[in-house]
Structure 1
Amino acid sequence: MIEKISYIARVAGTEIMRIYNGSLKLGSYQKLDQSPVTNADLLSHKIIMYSLRNLTPDVPVLSEEDITEWQECRDGSCFWLIDPLDGTKEFLLRNGAFTVNIAFIEYGQPIMGVVYVPAYNILYAADNGQAWKINYKGERINIAVRASCYPMIVMSRNDVDYDQHHLYSYLKRFKNYKIINIGSSFKFCLIAEGSVHFYPRFSSTKIWDTAAGHVIARAAGAMINDWDGNSLHYRNIKRSFLNPGFQVSSY
C-alpha cells in the first residue's frame, strides 16, 4: 500500500510541477477564508481523490479541497487525510518548499503517510513504525532524528499570528540555537531526517497540514505533543478542522 500511495503522490507532484514550471498556465484564486488556492492545488486534488477512491472505495477521504465526507471520517474507524498542495503560498513564491501530503488515519492516529516534495524530487514515507526518504537519485535512505548541542529550530514562514511572548518563553530553554523559516509539512520531514531539531507551532494549523508529516516524524523518533503535553491526534474531528498549538521535538 505504501508503494501505491507513494506513486500517487509522485503523479500529483508531477502535475503540480507542470504548472510551477510554466508548461500549464497558473490560475490563482482566494478562498472564503482569504487563503490562496491555485489550479495546481485542484489538479493534484483530483488525481489523489480519483486514485484513492479506486484503490480503497470503502474508505472515506478528507481533503483540504473537499470536506464533504468529514462526518464519515469523524465517525468511522479509519480515513484518508490529504493536502494536495501544502504550502500554496510557497508555491506562489516559487521557493520550492511545498509538498503533497497523504496520510492514513486509524482510530485517531496517523499510521501511514507520504510527503512528497516535488520541486526537489524527494519523497518521505512512514509505515509500520519505520521512516525513510527516497532522494532525487532514487536511493532509499532510512531516517531518524538526531540530538545536537547547537539546535536548529524550524518555524513556518507564515506563523505570524502567535503571541511573541510565547516564542520568547520557549526560546529561553535553548542556547546556541538557530531559527530557520520553511513552509509546509517539509518541516516535519527535516526533523525526521535529523537536519533540524525542533518545530514549535503557536498559531493554528489544519489537520491535513500535519497528519502525513506527523507519522513520518514520529516513526523517525520525534515527539509531537500539544502545549499541555498531550499527543497530537485526529479523533473527534470538528468542522473547523483545527489542531491545537504543538511542538515537534527530536529529543
Structure 2
Amino acid sequence: MTDLDLKPLLAAAIEAALEAAREILDVYAGEITVDQKRDLSPVTIADGRAEKVILRHLLAAAPDIPIISEEQAEADGLPAAAAARYWLVDPLDGTKEFIKRNGEFTVNIALVEGGRPILGVVGIPVQGLIYAAAGPGTALRRAADGTCTPIETRPCPPEGAVVMSSRSHSSCGELDRLLETRKVADRRIAGSALKFCSVAEGVADLYPRIGPTMEWDTAAGHALLEAAGGRMSNLDGTPFRYGKPGFRNPGFIAEGR
C-alpha cells in the first residue's frame, strides 16, 4: 500500500494534462512541422511543448519522484533500472494521428509504484476531456466545463464484445487468431490511449495488443482501467508489470469486467 497522499498528485497531473492540451492545440491550429527521432518515428514541436509543462507541474508537486518521459528519454536516454516509484509521461500519445489531424491523440500521465500504475490521467485535447483515477472506484471523466462523472467498465454483453484496436494493427493476423477464442459483436479502431478510455467507461469491452509498446503508452490507461473495474494482463494471462528492461511492453489484453 502506498504511503503517498494521491489526491494532490492527481490534481497536479490533471492540471498538467490540461495545460499540455492547450500547448498541443495551439500547434494543432497552425502548420505542423514534422521531424524524426532516432527510431524514425515522427515528432513535432507540440510533443516538446507539452512535455515541458507536464514536467514543471509534476516536479513542483513531487520533486523527489523521478520522471520518465518520452521526449526526455529520446534526448537523455532511459535509466538502467526503474525506481520503486516513478512517473511515466507520454506528452503526446498518437503523434501520427496528430499529424493527420484526426483528433485521436492523448496526453498520458501515470504514477507507478512497485511495478503497478497507481494513478493515471489521460487527456483528450480536441474534446477537452480528462479521464483520471487514483485507486479502485475513483475513475472519472471530466468534461470541458469541469463536470466530473464516475465511470466503470461493464460486463461483456451477451451478443459479444466490442473490441478496440489500433489503426496500424487492426488487420494483424495474430490479433485475428486471438479473437477467434472470443465472441465478438463489433470491432472499432482508435488511436492512442483512447482505446483504454473506451473500455474503462463501458462503451467497449476488450483491447488486445499484439505488438510492442512503451510503458508510457499504457500506464495511464492501465491505471484508469483498473480503477474502473477492469484488468490488464500479458497475453499469457500473467499480471502486467512495469519497470521492465528498456521500459518496453510485450503484447497485452486490456478488458472490462
Report the TM-score when normalising by structure 2. Answer: 0.90
Deviates more, 1:61-70 or 1:209-218: 61-70
Of 166, 169, 172 in structure 1, the residue corresponding to residue 177 of structure 2 is: 169
Report the TM-score when normalising by structure 1. Answer: 0.92
* Residue 31, structure 1, aligned to residue 37, structure 2: yes
Is contact 2:104-2:190 (8 Å) kept?
A: yes
Partner of 2:113: 106
Offset at residue 42 of structure 1 (A): 0.8
**Which runs of structure 1 show a deviation greater than 3 angstroms over 4 or more consecutive aligned residues?**
none
Offset at residue 51 of structure 1 (A): 2.1
Partner of 1:209: 217
Partner of 2:125: 118
Is contact 1:160-1:203 (8 Å) kept?
A: no
Cα root mean square deviation, aligned: 1.7
Offset at residue 110 of structure 1 (A): 0.6
Could you list the per-position Cα deviations for residues 71-114 of structure 1 after superposition, in whole angstroms to 9, with x for gaps in the alignment?
27x34211110000000011011111100011011111110110
Offset at residue 160 of structure 1 (A): 6.5
Partner of 1:154: 164
* Residue 182, structure 1, aligned to residue 185, structure 2: no
Partner of 1:59: 65
Partner of 1:248: 254
Offset at residue 32 of structure 1 (A): 1.4
Give the Cα separation in 2 of the matches to 1:170 and 1:234. Answer: 24
Could you list the per-position Cα deviations for residues 133-172 of structure 1 after superposition, in whole angstroms to 9, with x for gaps in the alignment?
112332111100012123210001122695x0x2232222
Partner of 2:144: 136
Other structure's SS at 2:57 match: helix
Could you list the per-position Cα deviations for residues 187-233 of structure 1 after superposition, in whole angstroms to 9, with x for gaps in the alignment?
10110000111001001111000000000001111110011111111
Offset at residue 176 of structure 1 (A): 4.9
Higher share of residues assigned helix: 2
Runs of at least 5 residues in structure 2 that lack an aligned partner in the other structure: 1-7
Of 238, 242, 248 in structure 2, the residue corresponding to residue 230 of structure 1 is: 238
Q: 1:17 to 1:174 in 2, by over 3 A?
A: same
Task: State the one-letter code of the partner of 2:227.
Answer: A
Task: State the one-letter code of the partner of 1:197.
Answer: D
Partner of 1:50: 56
Could you list the per-position Cα deviations for residues 17-49 of structure 1 after superposition, in whole angstroms to 9, with x for gaps in the alignment?
011122xx4221111111110000011011111
Is contact 1:62-1:69 (8 Å) kept?
A: no
Other structure's SS at 1:225 match: strand
Give the Cα separation in 2 of the matches to 1:113 and 1:223. Answer: 14
Task: State the one-letter code of the partner of 1:26.
Answer: I
Aligned length: 244
Other structure's SS at 2:46 match: helix
Give the Cα separation in 2 of the matches to 1:81 and 1:174. Answer: 32
* Residue 145, structure 1, aligned to residue 147, structure 2: no
Other structure's SS at 2:169 match: coil
Give the Cα separation in 2 of the matches to 1:180 and 1:131. Answer: 23
Is contact 2:12-2:57 (8 Å) kept?
A: no
